[in-house]
Chain A
């Protein structure tokens, strides 16, 4: 039973060893010149210490949600395309209905202006 899992243990061990090894190699080989900027959590970008409850523009959410919807569409499309021949005309019609429904959603999003950034 447990023997079957040996390759996984080997894989885990290999991964851990490799990861630690590369980090350490970098420490030894690279030149080290620390400055205050470099030691901060984020070397560039925004000031890390302030309230976490910041407001985001609703646009970010819109993009994220739309992405998920159309992403899922692709997830369905891919296996359908692969086995298109076996599914035949029925599969074609089914997918057509599926895409049509999504299309309604797309038109809605578009006409409501959710795709415009400004």
Chain B
């Protein structure tokens, strides 16, 4: 027993390190009250160490803590993605005027960031329904507080409250769905549930209801329509750093958990040799997701057109992107999953980049309105060019990384002959062009209003920008590494 626990713990190092980081960040803040920089370095070191430890798990495939979580290529991929995002966000925070203004509470900020990362790590690996709920709650609770972190700003508090209310509702629904699943199968671990569903006659209606309820929980995390209502308010109200974090890492963790849940429980076991999965007999849940996907991207894109606040616009754009990524889940194949993973790598750089630009501009002008971007391309050519590249990538035009993400999604869709969905996705990316270009129009086609002075940035800020910008371009031209890594990472641990 003891040895087993220790053995399990040895596969749990990244999470353990994050837990320690949470504690150390809190205590350090109490001892060095004036030194916010130190806390940020501590949490940076913690997350980096955790990320490094995750790289040691590459290639591993086993279950830990008696089926509670799995350490497999799939989880490792998402953990790396989340750790990377977390590191970038900590770097953002060091330069964010919003965060720096509240340096007295730096300990809380950074320890909650670490806790959020921990929760997402657990989400990436959870193989037990209860573990999934717990991991999701840890993530949600940390993000509720972080969303309202700048409590002096009324919209920040509003964001936090809305987030809590929607979050509570959807996790309640999800729990209810899980309890129905448990009632149907008598198991809470995904393998047990799957065994029971495959072997026994389950009521179709009950399973449908349970799945829809559970989708409510996942849909809330990945902000899919119609569970997206919190997204624009929270993204607008929360500090930019947190918004960026939620838009990438939270969505990634949600997708990881969702994919694992659906593919591990509601399919007929292992994929076929050509990498396609079969949905449970008589229960084609991927069609529900297809509808969800269409709704999500269409609504996200159409509503984004009318936004005047850039953070809100990016919120709707992130909803649309969740819709694109859902297309990869719908096709029920390893190709589709690989496409989702590829998309996430690409999305990480381009979306964080876009938010970083928003943050840099807000630092200088104090505004996130699209109107305040007028003439920005001339006030700071660097920012202008960077924004062009990030937005072109978000639209999905070559030669940027965003195109590669879209390409592989469409490849997966057409391979599985989901042609109508591919057409909807393609037309949606045309719609998305319109609102991205609206921002670029203000930056380059309009003259600055009022203050038109040049904006300069410190070398550190420029380096972070380049760290996000270069991959966005490079992966558009040479993407073999990410495709290979994603292809190798669709492997989920299964009990044979």
Q: Which residues of A contact B (CB under 8 A)?
A: 88, 90, 100-101, 104, 107-108, 111-112
Contact = CB atoms under 8 A, between A and B. Distances in A.
Interface of B: 1-2, 5, 19, 23, 26-27, 30
A90 B2 contact: yes
A17 to B, nearest CB: 39
B321 to A, nearest CB: 37
B5 A104 contact: no
Nearest to A90: B2
A90 B26 contact: no
B26 A104 contact: yes
Contacts, number: 18
Nearest to B16: A97
Contacts of A108: 26-27, 30
Nearest to B3: A90
Contacts of B27: 104, 107-108
Contacts of B5: 90
A50 B260 CA distance: 54
Contacts of B26: 104, 107-108
A100 B19 CA distance: 12
9 contacts: A90-B5, A101-B23, A104-B23, A104-B26, A104-B27, A107-B27, A107-B30, A108-B26, A111-B30
Contacts of A111: 30
A104 B19 CA distance: 12
Majority DSSP secondary structure for residues of B touching A: helix
A112 B104 CA distance: 11
A104 B23 CA distance: 6
Sort A-B residue pairs by CB-CB distance and give the 5 closest, nearest first: A111-B30, A104-B23, A90-B2, A108-B26, A104-B26
Contacts of A100: 23
A106 B101 CA distance: 26
Nearest to A108: B26
Nearest to A94: B5
A73 to B, nearest CB: 16
Contacts of B23: 100-101, 104
A108 B111 CA distance: 12
B381 to A, nearest CB: 46
Contacts of B19: 101
A100 B5 CA distance: 19
A68 to B, nearest CB: 15
A23 to B, nearest CB: 41
A111 B29 CA distance: 10
A43 B5 CA distance: 59
A1 to B, nearest CB: 23
A112 B1 CA distance: 40
Nearest to A91: B2
Nearest to A104: B23
B488 to A, nearest CB: 35
Contacts of A90: 1-2, 5
A100 B24 CA distance: 11
Nearest to A101: B23
A83 to B, nearest CB: 14
A101 B23 CA distance: 7
A88 B5 CA distance: 14
A72 B263 CA distance: 37
Nearest to B2: A90
A111 B5 CA distance: 35
B173 to A, nearest CB: 26
B323 to A, nearest CB: 40
A28 B2 CA distance: 66
B2 to A, nearest CB: 5
Nearest to B25: A104
Contacts of A104: 23, 26-27
Contacts of B2: 88, 90
A104 B5 CA distance: 24
Contacts of A112: 30
Contacts of B1: 90
A69 to B, nearest CB: 14
Nearest to B1: A90
A90 B1 CA distance: 10
A100 B30 CA distance: 16
Nearest to A88: B2
Nearest to A97: B19
